Structure 1
Amino acid sequence: MSGPKAMSLRFPDPAQRAAIEAAARQEGVSLQEYILSAAYARATAVEKRFLDAFGESMACSGEAFSEEAGAADPSRDQRAAELQARRELEEQRERGHAA
């Protein structure tokens, strides 16, 4: 089995390649390592931003559901009224189909 292969780094813009090479030299790392580190940093920044936004969304949703806790568990009277309204609607539909 062969060893690890080097990355193929092709830059259409020679000035871009020179700028990246200079940045890598300044950091004291290889061009490949510099590019991989930058890609990893960007990916983790995107992940952090996603997780932060997800956390904010969860907090907002949690607040919304906690404020409406009473609506999720209606009182016995409210439930009876809803069932009665449903029966009345079903009776109206049946009468409409019979006509």
Structure 2
Amino acid sequence: MSQPKAMNLRFPDPAQRAAIEAAAKQEGVSLQEYILSAAYARATAVEERFLEAFRESMSRSGDVFAAEAGAVDPRGEQRAAELEARRELEEQQERGHAA
């Protein structure tokens, strides 16, 4: 089994590399560990922001559907009238097939 290779860290700006090395040294970790933990922290922050926005969106959608439920859900009288009309239509169709 081969040994894992080290991360190839190339920085076009020497000042950037020096700043990151200093930050890693201050944290007491290797340069690789510092960069990976920073990348992980950024990714989880992005994920958390996405999930937060998704929860807000779901909440707004739920509020809208709840507000519109009265318009979509017919009252009992309307429902009874629709069922009666359907029964009458089915009876007419049955009589038409019998003839």
**Shorter-normalised TM range:** 0.7 to 0.9
Please give the alpha-carbon distance, in whole angstroms, between the structure 2 residues aligned to 1:28 and 1:45. 23
The letter for the 2-side match of 1:40 is Y
User: Structure 1 stretches of 5 or more lacking a match?
Assistant: 81-99
Which TM-score applies when normalising by structure 1? 0.75
The letter for the 2-side match of 1:12 is P
TM superposition shift of 1:4: 1.2
Percent sequence identity over matched residues? 77
TM superposition shift of 1:70: 1.2
Moved over 3 A (4+): none
Other-structure match for 1:21 = 21
Other-structure match for 1:53 = 53
The letter for the 2-side match of 1:13 is D
Other-structure match for 1:39 = 39
SS in 1 for 2:7: coil
Write the deviation string for residues 34-93 of structure 1: whole angstroms up to 9, x where unpaired.
00000000000000000001001101110110011112223427x96xxxxxxxxxxxxx
**RMSD between superposed Cα atoms in Å:** 1.5
The one of the two structures with greater contact order (alpha-carbon pairs below 8 A, sep at least 6) is 1
The number of equivalent residue pairs is: 79
Other-structure match for 1:6 = 6
Please give the alpha-carbon distance, in whole angstroms, between the structure 2 residues aligned to 1:11 and 1:72. 60
Bigger radius of gyration among the two: 2
